[in-house]
């Protein structure tokens, strides 16, 4: 009888221990984007690394509508982490810039790390004689959908040249993919396209139409960066597209965001696993070549547009990466 009681107690203790271990584990859902884009495989890859590391975190990736959805869902607690363009994260945190966040700041949104660049590529037909953004006055230009992040970027860029969308002959709306076709066919003179370098749509258009890249002067980019910290410079190499030449451009960044409601230890463990202990897997096993090409800890705060999470501050400090006072979280 006594032996039976001991066995019963042992089983109960084991069950209780398992239950306590499960309750202590943190579950993280990472919002990404379309399954055909780069956000999704990046989120899937990071979740896989975490799950195979044997730490007290279980992670999974969710396909979403992208940056705006992810920032809102992280703020609402529907996601614990998400991938976002750094300009959209800025708009979300500050409650301005795009309609989705106007007057509705996501105050608990926090930064984790900047991952890789997403370049605002300015394309023009060679016969349109557009050498700077100022030359777009009186032209037909694709500027993104009304209320979109692209439209706000165009407004900000034009502001550096003391001009506005009203200075255009015709601001063209719709999808960027469709706009490339309009540019190729001569129905518009220029366009703004935020996409990774070497985009197939631009390559294909350049092979069949006289299209060139329009550079933005470095001093204008410095002016923009001083006002909007999410804009940084990138040099587009001459061999990126056929017959289009090199250019200096403004780049946004794809960044990882989280909520201040997620524990410091969970974010620290996540970062230490993905960006340090399992860094080789991060570079080589995730189906996103931009990570290996662009991501380093030394550049992981360049273009960071919102305050960091406490767990991120702990990680970067431990890695001897200087964290600016402007990125320190209030809570």
**What are 58-117's pLDDT values in tens digits?**
999 999 888 889 999 999 999 999 999 999 999 999 999 888 899 999 999 999 999 998
Mean pLDDT, rounded, for 10-20: 45
Contact 232, 253 (CB under 8 A): yes
pLDDT for 16-59, tens place per residue?
A: 444 444 446 899 999 998 776 788 999 999 999 999 999 999 99
CATH number for the region 119-252 comes to 3.40.190.10
Query: 2-116+255-327 with 119-252: one CATH topology?
Result: yes
Q: Is 81 left (phi over 0), alpha (psi -120 to 50) or beta?
A: beta
Please state the pTM of the whole predicted model.
0.76
Domain boundaries, the chain: 2-116+255-327, 119-252
**How far, in Å, are 39, 170, 234, 237 from residue 64 at the CA level?**
9, 32, 28, 32
Torsion from C-alpha of 64, 66, 71, 73, nearest 10 degrees: -10
140-142 and 190-195 as β-strands: parallel, antiparallel, unpaired?
Answer: parallel
CATH architecture of the domain with residue range 2-116+255-327? 3-Layer(aba) Sandwich (3.40)
């Amino acid at each position: 009888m006594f032996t039976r009681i001991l066995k019963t107690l042992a089983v109960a203790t084991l069950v209780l221990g398992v239950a306590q271990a499960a309750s202590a584990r943190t579950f993280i859902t990472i919002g990404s984007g379309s399954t055909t884009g780069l956000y999704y495989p990046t989120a899937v890859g990071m979740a896989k690394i975490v799950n195979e590391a044997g730490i007290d975190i279980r992670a999974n990736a969710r396909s979403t509508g992208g940056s705006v959805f992810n920032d809102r869902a992280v703020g609402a607690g529907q996601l614990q982490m998400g991938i976002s363009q750094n300009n959209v994260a800025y708009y979300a945190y500050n409650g301005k810039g795009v309609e989705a966040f106007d007057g509705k700041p996501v105050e608990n949104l926090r930064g984790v790390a900047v991952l890789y660049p997403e370049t605002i590529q300015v394309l023009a037909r060679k016969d349109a004689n557009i050498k700077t953004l100022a030359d777009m006055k009186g032209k037909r230009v694709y500027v993104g959908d009304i209320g979109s992040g692209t439209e706000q970027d165009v407004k900000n860029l034009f502001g550096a040249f003391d001009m506005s969308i009203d200075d255009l002959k015709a601001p063209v709306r719709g999808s960027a993919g469709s706009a490339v076709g309009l540019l190729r066919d001569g129905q518009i003179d220029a366009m703004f396209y935020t996409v990774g370098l070497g985009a197939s749509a631009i390559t294909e258009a350049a092979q069949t139409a006289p299209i060139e890249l329009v550079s933005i002067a470095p001093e204008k980019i410095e002016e923009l960066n001083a006002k909007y910290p999410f804009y940084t410079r990138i040099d587009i190499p001459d061999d990126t597209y056929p017959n289009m030449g090199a250019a200096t451009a403004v780049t946004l960044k794809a960044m990882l965001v989280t909520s201040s409601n997620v524990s410091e230890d969970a974010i620290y463990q996540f970062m230490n696993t993905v960006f340090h202990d399992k860094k080789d897997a991060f570079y080589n096993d995730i189906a996103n070549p931009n990570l290996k090409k662009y991501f380093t800890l030394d550049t992981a705060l360049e273009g960071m547009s919102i305050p960091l999470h406490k767990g991120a501050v702990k990680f970067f400090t431990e890695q001897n990466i200087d964290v600016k006072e402007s990125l320190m979280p209030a809570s």
